[in-house]
Structure 1
Amino acid sequence: MPTRAVALAAALSLSSPAAPVAAGDFSLAWPVDCTLGQDCFIEDYVDQDPEPGRQRDFACGYNARDGHKGTDIALLDFDAIAEGVAVTAAAPGLVLRTRDEMPDDRLMRGVTDQTACGNAVLVEHADGWRTLYCHLRLGSVAVAPGDIVRPGDRLGSIGLSGRTNHPHLHLQVSRDGALVDPFRPGAALGTCGTAGDTLWQNPPGYVRTGLFTARFSNRVPGFDEVRAGTAPIDVADPMQPLVVYAIAQEAQTGDRLTLSGEGPEGRIFFHSLVLDAPQRSQLQAYGRKAPDGGWPPGDYLGRAMLTRDGQVIAHRFAHVTVTP
């Protein structure tokens, strides 16, 4: 038997049996040391809409990005990067490749299509399955090619490497080179509907409500400006107002939305409201005029967060740089 097959067989023999799923005996354990709704949430799923410029998740909701090929498990706080939130193997297998040389840089300087995944670990499993773990923190990768891993073994920590401006794990699943949505593995890509079978050993709950976007602007924008792309700003004059806006999709009455901003000298605003009879898409914004003398130069961070019964169901970061 080839060495790789022996290694994979050994890895499988060391794992505990998982409940059978539609895709055979392959299943996934939760790959991040976090608790959904408390310090992390599922931000985006695999995009099931093949039409460019549109997105649908596996349940026909809006919690995906155009062309997105994985499941994004996002953290709520940048400070958690330094604390070290572990990324762990979701299934037994053999480490094929790793990368641990890219800086944690939310501005994504020097990132190309070839390095968009950032620091990463690629694991091969039995029967043609592979899992890819992206955006790991520089210096955190804890495995090397040829290592055998079991579910729960540490692979690295969530970081900001590659094409990302916020801390999250991008988990990508494939079989025989073809992308698979772990929430609907038995269905053809490009379709959505009832979830049915899943690859998850303990399937995380699905929340249809989400935040379509959150950005900085220098005014309270309207829907037409947001759709046209004229509302957001990446660079601001120190005398301009700073406003964070967000679009909530499929929110429910009683959901709480918070909008906040912070800069080099700390928090600049915080606004919390309970949504009352929200529409299918609802735009909310909040901000402040520039203080006397203008905003201090530097990077500013905005946050939009939706909670339901005290649990985080959606969260987005926004960024702007105030120039001197």
Structure 2
Amino acid sequence: MRPLNGAGFALAISLLSAAVPAAAEPPVLDLPIDCVLGQTCYVEDYVDADPGPGQRDYTCGLKSRDDHRGTDIVLISFEAMEAGVNVLAAAPGTVAATRDGMEDVAVTDATRASIEGRECGNAVRIDHGGGWQTLYCHMARGSITVETGQQVAAGDVLGLVGLSGLTNVPHVHLGVLKDGAIVDPFNPENRDTCGVNAGDGLWRDAPDYDRAGLFTAGFSNGVPDFEDVKSGAARLPAATPDTPLVLYGHVFYARPGDVMTLTASGPEGEVFAHEVTLEDPQAQLFRAYGRRAPQSGWQPGAYRGYVQLTREGRLIAVRHADITISPN
């Protein structure tokens, strides 16, 4: 999240802390990305409302991560990112700082230390006056279209969704700050809203909240044990050409009638596509689908799977998984 083309950027990010009650006259926010919620994008993570270790979103649901300091709006696929999706100013203001030049590379445990202090990736920070600012993270290298001091209106293009900084999925992270402290745009007064609709908050028209989602997806070489799915032991990062390819998805709080779609593709195109309707889901469950290797074996190379969860045709969540087939 830091130094940029603006000396105050590093200071502003270093002051980020847990959510605090907001003061008067905040900006009114529009969606900061050019996509259609429930069709081409969805909200995956919210501000962490838990002041200690652990996490909860503003409804006390599962959709946050420990110390997560913004709202993540995620694209449906890497292919959508590659086609180009604009990041938009959520409210009018003045560009206070930008940063560009970071690579669009999914973070790994091995590379995480190399981006310390720059977790926000390529980014734009906008000042809205009265101590209010918004921060737009993980933009594509070379895509930023604005510069420090420039006036922007709500909906103006800031750049493109990318894969820079601390991320492994294409999305925009929107941070809202008041006097350097993080504010949850869904619950700016930091009220107890567990299990209830908090209203629109700072949004002109707040995105709908869905309790259900996906914990993870992964490839395995057979239908895994649920404990191995939950622990991560089922995930197979690499395999040989004769290995069966099985994709699984771990779901929480699904409803009867929700649909899971599991697809996989590789160097030669589609490997499989499968859809399953959840008739009597539990609080947590997983589903898996796959194929045995063809007689000639899988073509060596990179394979990617997507697991989608939809409700009445509306996208709720997506997770992806990657596996590499190496030559014998």
TM-score (norm 1): 0.86
1:49 positional shift: 3.2
Specify which of 296, 304, 309 is matched with residue 307 of structure 2.
304
Q: 2: CA distance between counterparts of 1:152 and 1:122?
A: 15
- Letter in structure 2 aligned against 1:268: V
- Letter in structure 2 aligned against 1:137: A
- Residue ranges of structure 1 left out of the alignment (5+ in a row): 1-20
Conserved in 1, the CA contact under 8 Å of 2:224 and 2:234? yes
Q: Alignment identity in percent? A: 50
2:204 corresponds to 1:201: yes
Q: 2:16 maps to which residue?
A: none
State the Cα deviation string for residues 190-249 of structure 1 (Å, max 9, x = none).
x84434251101111111111111122222222211233311122223332222111111
| Pairing of 1:1-324 with structure 2 (within 5 A) | 23-52=24-53, 54-106=54-106, 110=111, 111-187=114-190, 192-197=194-199, 198-324=201-327
State the Cα deviation string for residues 148-178 of structure 1 (Å, max 9, x = none).
1121111001112222222111111111111
Deviates most, 282-291 or 227-236: 227-236
Deviates most, 62-71 or 298-307: 62-71
1:115 positional shift: 2.4
Q: 2: CA distance between counterparts of 1:218 and 1:30?
A: 40
Q: 2: CA distance between counterparts of 1:317 and 1:68?
A: 21
Query: Against the structure 1 CA distance between its residues 65 and 94, is the aligned structure 2 distance closer, same or farther, given a 3 Å change threshold?
Result: same
State the Cα deviation string for residues 92-112 of structure 1 (Å, max 9, x = none).
222122122122223568551
Conserved in 1, the CA contact under 8 Å of 2:213 and 2:316? yes
Q: 2: CA distance between counterparts of 1:121 and 1:214?
A: 31
Counterpart secondary structure, 1:200: coil
Conserved in 1, the CA contact under 8 Å of 2:240 and 2:325? yes
Q: 1: CA distance between counterparts of 2:102 and 2:325?
A: 26
Deviates most, 23-32 or 152-161: 23-32
1:188 positional shift: 6.1
Query: Against the structure 1 CA distance between its residues 297 and 23, is the aligned structure 2 distance closer, same or farther, given a 3 Å change threshold?
Result: farther
- Letter in structure 1 aligned against 2:210: V
Q: 2: CA distance between counterparts of 1:186 and 1:193?
A: 16
State the Cα deviation string for residues 247-290 of structure 1 (Å, max 9, x = none).
11111111111111111111111110111011111111111222
Q: 1: CA distance between counterparts of 2:55 and 2:240?
A: 33
Q: 2: CA distance between counterparts of 1:270 and 1:308?
A: 18
> How many residues align structurally?
302
Q: 1:13 maps to which residue?
A: none
Counterpart secondary structure, 2:117: helix
- Residue ranges of structure 2 left out of the alignment (5+ in a row): 1-21
Q: CA RMSD for the aligned pairs? A: 2.1
TM-score (norm 2): 0.85
Conserved in 1, the CA contact under 8 Å of 2:26 and 2:132? no
Q: 1: CA distance between counterparts of 2:260 and 2:266?
A: 21
- Letter in structure 2 aligned against 1:143: V
Query: Against the structure 1 CA distance between its residues 299 and 286, is the aligned structure 2 distance closer, same or farther, given a 3 Å change threshold?
Result: same
1:51 positional shift: 4.9
1:22 positional shift: 7.7
